[in-house]
């Protein structure tokens, strides 16, 4: 059955997301400080309250809610700086099982640079663009998480991800587009709609993949899945090690890739990764784990109003928020 667009009334009740929706890890008020970590720096911007903390060799970027709850945005183990410390980040490498040799990557949401640093270190031929709306996050990532300041193949842009994708120069495409742009604990509404995914599809190279980080226990998950399914011809799901997050990989290919091909790609690539890529391929699943009657998310604005809409949607939203006013 074809899903109907999500109406204004239906959108309203889908407001607040649990903290785990964004990053899979939540520290309640005061938890990290009580656990004996050290605050390296705190910063506030028009978008975020960011705390950088360290305990032993582990350095963490937190986004802090109004009630003091700390949402783990990025984590770096300084004793293993070229590894992925969070399980959702390892799961997002599933994109390589469908596109094993990307030359150009775009990442929406820099955070602490965990994913982009990893790709930069392990794939010397890969050109990376990141787009992060909060300049304070970029500054802190460069100061505390080894994100380079001036590297011709690792370009950090400050701005809104939707505007960046839609305003890219004609003919500009990427082989790997990673969607991980959380504002606090939510993804801005204009980065979740069919119109946005269509813009991403237009920016994919013929063999490119889109990789999205989804939390599979939230009320928005069925709508996310239905919306992605409405746009992308081929779709693949990989569950995280802890099971609470799904990495969604989409392509524009005419034909579907089977599980044996995914495992073959994992065997070919395993020397490029420092974790069990075959184990990741085994976490590919084909079951339907969402309500298929959920409505597709559509822009709540006209194309000419995109810039104003991004400003509205990018307002801080931690609890009690609505995706559309």
Closest CA to 89 of 72, 70, 106: 72
Closest CA to 119 of 80, 88, 153: 153
Q: What are the mean pLDDT values of the chain's consecutive 10-residue runs (325 residues total)?
A: 38 34 48 72 94 96 89 93 92 98 97 96 97 96 96 96 95 96 81 97 97 92 96 97 94 95 96 96 96 95 95 69 48
User: CA-to-CA distance for 262 and 277, rounded, in angstroms?
Assistant: 10
CB atoms < 10 A from the CB of 303, how many?
9
Q: Which helix (H) or strand (E) holds 9?
A: helix 8-12
Which sign, positive or negative, has the C-alpha torsion 234, 239, 244, 249?
negative
The answer to whether the beta carbons of residues 128 and 94 sit under 8 Å apart is: no
Collect all residues with Cβ–Cβ distance below 8 Å to 8 and sequence separation of at least 6: 300, 324
Q: Map out the domains of the chain as residue ranges.
A: 8-14+81-313
Collect all residues with Cβ–Cβ distance below 8 Å to 166 and sequence separation of at least 6: 199, 306
The answer to whether the beta carbons of residues 209 and 249 sit under 8 Å apart is: yes
The answer to whether the beta carbons of residues 215 and 244 sit under 8 Å apart is: yes
Collect all residues with Cβ–Cβ distance below 8 Å to 65 and sequence separation of at least 6: 19, 49, 71, 184, 185, 318, 319
Specify the CATH superfamily of domain 8-14+81-313. Answer: Vaccinia Virus protein VP39 (3.40.50.150)
Dump strand ranges (E) for 161-273.
174-179, 204-215, 234-239, 245-251
Closest CA to 80 of 90, 71, 94, 70: 90
| pTM attached to this predicted model | 0.89
User: CA-to-CA distance for 196 and 17, rounded, in angstroms?
Assistant: 20
User: CA-to-CA distance for 260 and 265, rounded, in angstroms?
Assistant: 9
Alpha helices of 232-305 — where are they, by DSSP H? 259-269, 277-282
Dump strand ranges (E) for 88-240.
104-108, 127-132, 154-158, 174-179, 204-215, 234-239
Q: Which residue has the tokens 């399980």?
A: 87
Collect all residues with Cβ–Cβ distance below 8 Å to 50 and sequence separation of at least 6: 42, 43, 44, 61, 62, 63, 64, 73, 134, 136, 137, 140
Kind of pairing between the strands at 104-108 and 58-64: unpaired
Looking at residue 316, its pLDDT comes to 55
Q: Which two tokens stand for residue 177?
A: 């587009």
Residue 241, CA distances (Å) to 216, 275, 283, 322 in order: 13, 12, 8, 30
Looking at residue 35, its pLDDT comes to 62
């Amino acid at each position: 059955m074809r899903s109907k667009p999500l109406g204004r009334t239906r959108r309203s009740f889908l407001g607040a997301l649990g903290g785990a929706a964004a990053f899979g890890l939540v520290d309640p008020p005061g938890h990290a400080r009580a656990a004996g970590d050290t605050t390296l720096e705190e910063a506030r911007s028009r978008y975020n309250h960011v705390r950088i903390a360290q305990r032993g060799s582990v350095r963490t970027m937190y986004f802090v809610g109004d009630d003091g709850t700390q949402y783990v945005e990025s984590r770096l183990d300084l004793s293993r700086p070229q590894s992925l410390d969070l399980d959702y980040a390892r799961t997002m490498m599933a994109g390589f099982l469908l596109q094993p040799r990307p030359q150009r990557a775009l990442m929406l949401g820099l955070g602490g640079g965990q994913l982009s640093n990893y790709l930069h270190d392990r794939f010397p031929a890969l050109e990376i663009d990141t787009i992060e709306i909060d300049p304070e996050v970029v500054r802190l990532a460069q100061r505390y998480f080894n994100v380079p300041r001036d590297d011709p193949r690792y370009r950090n842009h400050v701005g809104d991800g939707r505007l960046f994708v839609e305003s890219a120069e004609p003919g500009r495409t990427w082989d790997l587009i990673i969607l991980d742009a959380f504002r606090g604990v939510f993804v801005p509404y204009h980065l979740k709609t069919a119109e946005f995914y269509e813009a991403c599809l237009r920016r994919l190279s013929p063999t490119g993949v889109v990789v999205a980080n989804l939390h599979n226990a939230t009320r928005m998950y069925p709508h996310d899945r239905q919306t992605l399914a409405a746009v992308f011809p081929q779709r693949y799901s990989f569950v995280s090690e802890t099971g609470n997050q799904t990495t969604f990989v989409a392509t524009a290919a005419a034909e579907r890739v089977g599980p044996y091909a995914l495992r073959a790609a994992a065997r070919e690539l395993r020397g490029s990764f420092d974790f069990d890529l075959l184990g990741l391929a085994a976490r590919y699943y084909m079951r339907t784990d969402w309500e298929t009657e959920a409505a597709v998310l559509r822009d709540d604005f006209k194309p000419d109003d995109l810039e104003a809409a991004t400003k509205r949607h990018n307002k801080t939203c931690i609890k009690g928020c609505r995706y559309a006013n």
